Amino acid sequence: MSSFRFRLDRVRNVRAIEEEVSRGRWQEAEALARRARDEAERTQSEIRSACAELAALVGGGPVEPAQVLWRQGILNHLRQRLEGANARANELEREAEARRAAWQEKKQGVEGLSRLEERQGAEHAIEEERRANAGLDEVAQRRARERRLKDVPPALPDSPDATCAAERDADKDLTDS
């Protein structure tokens, strides 16, 4: 019996390494996108706080116009920062999605090779079992023939057809099975 060896084992190993590298790149891109989205959310929170402060300032009585203008300037600056943060987060999320798709593709390739190995291994096992059974059948047939020949009485010298008939019967039994 020969042991099964998957011929594309090295290819699968190389592709598994490529898949791991690709997964790492996707995870890095995902982390960057998450940090960028967190930054945009922090900026949005700062805008809410600045709006609340401006509303409190205006609703609290007499206000100096310079203070209102200064707070509005801060608010405008925060809004611009939010726009940039959202754009960066969106761009990084698209990049992360592209890397995720590339990783998924590589992962499917590795899984396909693994399924191929399983299928070929199962086919190999079936073929090995078939060969083993064929060998056992051959041994059984040979022993049965030997027993039949042993059970036939020796042919008398004046009857040469008796031995031939026993051999024919044994050969017939072998071809019938």
Residue 96 has a pLDDT of 97
Selection from 75, 68, 71, 67 nearest residue 46 by Cα: 75
Q: What tens digit of pLDDT does each residue of 98-117 get?
A: 999 999 999 999 999 999 99
Residue 62: is its pLDDT beyond 90? no
The more confidently predicted of residues 78 and 9 is 78
Residue 139 has a pLDDT of 86
Q: Domain span at residue 21?
A: 9-176
> How many domains does the chain divide into?
1
> 138 lies in a domain?
yes
> 154 lies in a domain?
yes
Classify 92 as helix, strand or coil: helix
Tokens matching residue 5: 């060896």
Q: What is the pTM of this model?
A: 0.64
The more confidently predicted of residues 134 and 94 is 94
Please, which pLDDT band fits residue 6 given cuts at 50, 70 and 90?
Answer: confident
Alpha-carbon distance of 57 to 75, in angstroms, equals 14
> 52 lies in a domain?
yes
Percent of the chain with pLDDT over 70: 85
Longest Cα–Cα distance of the chain, Å, equals: 145
Tokens matching residue 171: 């050969």
Q: What tens digit of pLDDT does each residue of 156-175 get?
A: 555 555 555 556 665 665 56
Residue 84 has a pLDDT of 97
| Mean pLDDT, rounded, for 114-139 | 90
